[in-house]
């Protein structure tokens, strides 16, 4: 089993990266939330890998952090009807904290806006993963300490960002007509800029540039 690949980034597209190591170039499929964090070409990079094997092919899926890789694996393994392609689209449309918050809150609306997902599939994700994402007896403020957001700064990764406020801010931008990917990216950048303990209103104003 391949756990990670570390080497030189020699090619980078929106959903595909090629990493050279040991004289071999590995083609790795990545979500947008990973490709936006990749370094410049010819730089060293490490991607956490989930490999799928079929009789006629081997496909590698890569993620900038292990938490995203594990979440991808859980979706594919636990939710019927979701394969690697849809799971990759989901993680590319919405960042990990947004996904976990939406599932924990049963917010089918946000999930169904991700590329390739419909309402029924979003409902299955909530039913199958809610208890796994948000264990019984825990709260959003507790669970955030276990989340490594895909584009947060190291300070935000300390668990100071309230997932509830984050999710509400994303929902507000969706209401204003933003696409799911754009709304999530805007709020992630706002959270990174503001640091921890941000209110929903602060996140929205920062995301809108006000």
Q: Assign residue 26 the CATH number of its domain.
A: 2.40.50.140
77 and 50 inside one domain: no
179 and 77 inside one domain: yes
The predicted pLDDT at position 210 comes to 67
41 and 102 inside one domain: no
Q: Which range is most confident: 6-20, 87-101, 111-125? A: 6-20
Q: How many helices (H) and strands (E) does the chain have?
A: 10, 5
The predicted pLDDT at position 145 comes to 39
Confidence of residue 149 (pLDDT cuts 50, 70, 90): very low
170 and 115 inside one domain: yes
42 and 93 inside one domain: no
104 and 155 inside one domain: yes
State the pTM of this model: 0.73
148 and 202 inside one domain: yes
Q: CA–CA separation, 180 vs 173, rounded Å?
A: 9
The predicted pLDDT at position 49 comes to 97
Q: What is the mean pLDDT of residues 53-77?
A: 92
34 and 124 inside one domain: no
Q: Which of 64, 90, 115 is the last residue of a domain?
A: 64
Q: By the 8 A CB rule, do 168 and 200 touch?
A: yes
The predicted pLDDT at position 202 comes to 86
Average pLDDT score, the chain: 82
Considering only residues 144 and 163, tell me which one the structure prediction assigns the higher pLDDT.
163
Q: Which of 64, 81, 102 is the last residue of a domain?
A: 64
Containing structural domain, residue 177: 67-207
Burial of 90 from C-beta contacts in 10 A (0-12 / 13-18 / 19+): buried
Q: By the 8 A CB rule, do 161 and 203 touch?
A: no
Considering only residues 82 and 18, tell me which one the structure prediction assigns the higher pLDDT.
18
The pLDDT > 90 percentage for the chain reads 36
Q: Is the pLDDT of residue 76 over 90?
A: yes
- Specify the number of domains making up the chain: 2
Q: Is the pLDDT of residue 143 over 80?
A: no
Confidence of residue 137 (pLDDT cuts 50, 70, 90): very low
Q: CA–CA separation, 84 vs 89, rounded Å?
A: 9
């Amino acid at each position: 089993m391949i756990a990670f690949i570390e080497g030189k980034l020699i090619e980078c597209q929106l959903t595909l990266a090629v990493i050279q190591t040991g004289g071999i170039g590995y083609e790795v499929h990545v979500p947008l939330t990973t490709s936006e964090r990749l370094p410049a070409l010819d730089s060293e990079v490490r991607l956490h890998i989930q490999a799928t094997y079929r009789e006629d092919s081997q496909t590698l899926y890569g993620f900038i952090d292990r938490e995203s890789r594990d979440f991808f694996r859980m979706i594919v393994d636990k939710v019927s009807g979701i394969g690697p392609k849809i799971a990759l689209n989901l993680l590319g449309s919405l960042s990990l904290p947004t996904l976990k918050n939406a599932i924990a809150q049963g917010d089918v609306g946000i999930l169904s806006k991700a590329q390739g997902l419909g309402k029924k599939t979003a409902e299955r994700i909530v039913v199958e993963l809610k208890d796994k994402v948000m264990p019984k007896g825990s709260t959003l403020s507790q669970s955030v300490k276990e989340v490594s957001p895909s584009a947060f700064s190291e300070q935000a990764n300390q668990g100071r960002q309230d997932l509830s406020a984050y999710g509400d801010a994303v929902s507000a931008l969706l209401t204003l007509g933003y696409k799911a990917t754009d709304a999530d990216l805007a709020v992630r950048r706002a959270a990174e800029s503001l640091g921890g303990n941000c209110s929903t209103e602060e996140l929205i104003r920062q995301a809108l540039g006000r």
